[in-house]
Structure 1
Amino acid sequence: MTPALAGALRCPVCAGPLLLVGRSLRCPKAHSFDLAREGYANLLAIQKKHAADPGDGKEMVRARRAFLATGHYQPLMAVLAELCGTLPHEKIVDAGCGEGSYDRFLYDALGEPQIVGFDLSKEAVRLAARLVPEAAFCVGGSFSAPVRDGWADLLLNIFSPFAGAEFSRMLRPGGHLIYAVPTARHLYGLKEVLYTTPYENEVKDTRYEGFDFVTEREAAATLTLEGESVQQLFAMTPYYWNTPAEGAARLAECDRLTTEIGFRFLVYRRQSE
């Protein structure tokens, strides 16, 4: 974490600005947060911590890292990078950054922008900090985000909860938000194995207070997976936790899977005050 990127962060206790002093982040009121060995900070306020280890667990995070490292989602990442490149993107916030694969791709594709990412999962942030040491990562949540007011030109939210008020606060006036949601048929082939009656994803309302809708871009592809990639895909999704035992058993016997994947990238502009 560099001093410049540390300056993008705010204290989770008093919301004051943070300064990098040695291996710690400190605010004017003397609240201090040590950096972990990997270079990230834990900026999740204790009153916002509703579980002993919030966010995605180690198994899910590591499955996601292993799956994304193979490049299976690279066509979707490429569309995201192209879309980001059409917008001001010098300062990017990734809300719900996960294990950093998207940020690594974007950092390399967009000419080394300043990136700040946060996630509730400590394991995800640890892996992200190791994968993208040029960025700043911290443990934190979208509904009480650890980024100072108006810092970001561009905010990314990929398959994470929508915290409109905080997203607006972190963006400069006129800054942009890219909200990635699944298409109706995303992972439908996986659900055909898991469920007796597979279902399409709900297409939700895309208008949010404080933001003007700008455009939408869709990216889709078909994957054919073999071996451990099949189980890694399953383990990195919420379906892992809510699939009946018989569905999981069917997938365990599946050594080859073909499925559609698709993201809808919804672009918004933050309204002026």
Structure 2
Amino acid sequence: MVSLFRCPVCASPLTRGEEAYTCPNRHSFDIAKEGYVHLLPANRKHSKAPGDDKEMAAARSRFLSGGYYSHLRAALEELALAHTGEDPAVVDSGCGEGYYTAGLHEALSAAGRRATMAGVDISKFCLRWAAKRTRQVEFAVASAYRLPVADGRANLLLNCFSPLAAEEFYRVLAPGGVFLYVVPAPDHLWELKEVLYDKPYRNPEEAIPYQGFTYLDIVKVERDIDVEGRALADLFRMTPYFWKTPREGAERLAKLDTLTVRASFRVHVFRRNG
């Protein structure tokens, strides 16, 4: 099977076999039992287990599988259909546990598109969930700043709440390729912030142009969601607030059985210039 991935050592194309990815220069990368491959060289790791930890990955998988952010997934599926052809190559940079990656593949396949898809994340714990979620997409541990994808290989690139590497995204996108950049809207999870912090702040509303890209649109995606029980704890665990919240705020949240919050996003749509 020909892969979207390239060798992180010599940049040659990788071929996926039964148990490993290999390149013409005989570099080999074992496929984990869950189905993902590790393409992050040891000299580029900044910690023993970079990215989201095991508990955070599990919390995100449970929460997203509950459909709370299904409105965002539906919006991304619609945009993917609008901006790809019959045989698109799609890369999800910072794919996490694969909820949106799987959604895009399902939507493209249902529309008769023959999509080739890859998801990349720096957390092996996230990719364990992602590779189980869909077997139709290949997943690799790698950095968004050094994507293991050849120049101009992708037609669509998704970046959802993940590090923005504009120069690298420009490199892997083909001329005319589209980049979907998802960020939290100013009022995203505002009600949760009101519980956690004495003086909550709103996210900035920004429209930042990036060299080599043309702005096509900013799509608003929002709705109120009722979050109860374990899902509320999972929502807290999967956000950056989990590491920043004072003990008093976390205790206030733990006393709640349910909370209605605004799940509000902006999808910035860019086209790579030729």
Q: Judge same fold: TM > 0.5, yes or no.
A: yes
How many residue pairs match? The answer is 268
CA distance in 2, matches of 1:108, 1:31: 32
Matching residue within 264, 267, 273 for 2:266 = 264
Offset at residue 211 of structure 1 (A): 0.8
Match of 1:105 in 2: 103
Q: Secondary structure of 2:92's partner?
A: strand
Match of 2:30 in 1: 34
CA distance in 1, matches of 2:230, 2:35: 31
Residues 1:193 and 2:191 are matched in the alignment: no
CA distance in 2, matches of 1:202, 1:77: 22
Residues 1:236 and 2:238 are matched in the alignment: yes
Matching residue within 7, 16, 19 for 1:11 = 7
Offset at residue 244 of structure 1 (A): 0.5
- In structure 2, runs of 5+ residues without a counterpart are none
Match of 1:175 in 2: 177
CA distance in 2, matches of 1:83, 1:20: 29
- Give, as a single letter, the amino acid of the residue that structure 2 aligns with 1:99: E
1:116-158: per-residue Cα shift (whole Å, max 9, x none)? 0010000111110111101100101100111111111100000
Q: Secondary structure of 1:18's partner?
A: strand
- Give, as a single letter, the amino acid of the residue that structure 2 aligns with 1:65: S
CA distance in 2, matches of 1:203, 1:160: 17
Q: Secondary structure of 1:198's partner?
A: coil
Match of 1:59 in 2: 55
Percent same amino acid among aligned pairs?
A: 45
CA contact (8 A) 2:144 2:163 kept: yes
Match of 2:253 in 1: 251
Offset at residue 30 of structure 1 (A): 1.8
Offset at residue 187 of structure 1 (A): 0.6
- Give, as a single letter, the amino acid of the residue that structure 1 aligns with 2:36: Y
Match of 1:160 in 2: 162
CA distance in 2, matches of 1:254, 1:243: 16
Match of 2:131 in 1: 129
- In structure 1, runs of 5+ residues without a counterpart are none
- Give, as a single letter, the amino acid of the residue that structure 2 aligns with 1:227: G
Match of 2:142 in 1: 140
1:74-112: per-residue Cα shift (whole Å, max 9, x none)? 111111111111111521100000001111222222226
1:14-38: per-residue Cα shift (whole Å, max 9, x none)? 2221122441111222211011112
CA distance in 1, matches of 2:17, 2:263: 44
Q: Which runs of 4+ in 1 moved over 3 A?
A: none
Offset at residue 203 of structure 1 (A): 2.1
CA distance in 1, matches of 2:7, 2:107: 31
Match of 2:44 in 1: 48
- Give, as a single letter, the amino acid of the residue that structure 2 aligns with 1:176: V
Match of 2:65 in 1: 69
- Give, as a single letter, the amino acid of the residue that structure 2 aligns with 1:49: K
CA distance in 2, matches of 1:24, 1:232: 34
CA distance in 2, matches of 1:211, 1:46: 32
- Give, as a single letter, the amino acid of the residue that structure 1 aligns with 2:102: R
CA distance in 1, matches of 2:233, 2:95: 22
Q: Secondary structure of 2:129's partner?
A: helix
CA contact (8 A) 2:197 2:245 kept: yes
* Greater Cα offset, 77-86 or 189-198: 77-86
* Greater Cα offset, 185-194 or 200-209: 200-209
Match of 1:221 in 2: 223
- Give, as a single letter, the amino acid of the residue that structure 1 aligns with 2:84: P
Q: Secondary structure of 1:47's partner?
A: helix
CA distance in 1, matches of 2:108, 2:5: 22
